[in-house]
Each structure stands twice: as C-alpha cells, then as structure tokens.
Amino acid sequence: MDQGNEIRVETRGSVTLFEIRGDVTVVSEPFLKEAYKNASQEGGIKSLLLKFDQNAYINSGGIAVLIQILSETKRNNQQVVITGLSDHFKKIFNMVGITKFAKIYGSVDEALKALPDDV
C-alpha cells in the first residue's frame, strides 16, 4: 500500500509547485525532503504550492511529514499554500492547525493569485 510518492516539480514565476501524487504517509518523507532540497538548491524557493491528489489519503504520519516541511519553510521565510485536498482533509488540516502555516485554496489558479508577485 505505502509505495512512496512521485512529486512533480514545476516553477510558475516565483512559485515552486510540488504536485504530490498518491497517498501521503511516513513513507513520503524522503520523497518530499528530496524534492524540497533539490528545489532549494536549484533555483531557491520563495513560495511553495503543495498540490495533492483529490483522492489522496493523508494519515497521521503524512501530517507529521507535512509539519516537518512547514517548519522548514517557516524557518526559511517561505510562504506555503495548499490545493487539491478533499473537503475531509481540508477539515482535518484546519483542526490540526496546519492552516495557521499554510492556507488552503480550491485550485492552483486561486492559490497562485493569492501569492504575491515577486520582482
């Protein structure tokens, strides 16, 4: 069941987009950390957009991994936004407090509009 994630990385202006395929669990940790490290080294990250699969399942381990990434982005003063979550996980993310560090939007376009344009 836990097979790791394919993470597609794209840059849109000053925003780095991580398209995270599959469920997110503790198994996702090395994949997300690698993607973050590579993106940081290549062009640097100013803003980060995390896009999840609509049917993705994010368990407590996955939430731990996301919190780990968010603590890193906070330390590096990087803004993070999230899209693609089902209503169920939007509610959970709100209840565990992730939305204090990363706002959730209904679509990639909506999230991109909310991020400041960079010069």
Helix (H, G, I), strand (E, B) or coil at 31: helix
Closer CB to other proteins, residue 91 or residue 113? 91
| CA-based nearest residue to 94, from 104, 106, 84, 86 | 104
The residue ranges that bind other proteins (CB under 8 A) are: 1-2, 23, 25-26, 29, 57-61, 63-65, 67-68, 71-72, 75, 88-89, 92, 95-96
Residue with tokens 């690698």: 34
Q: Measured from the CB of residue 26, what is the shortest distance to other proteins in angstroms?
A: 4
Q: Are strands 47-52 and 15-21 parallel, antiparallel or unpaired?
A: parallel
Smallest separation, CB 7 to other proteins (Å): 17
Minimum distance from residue 60 beta carbon to other proteins (Å) = 5
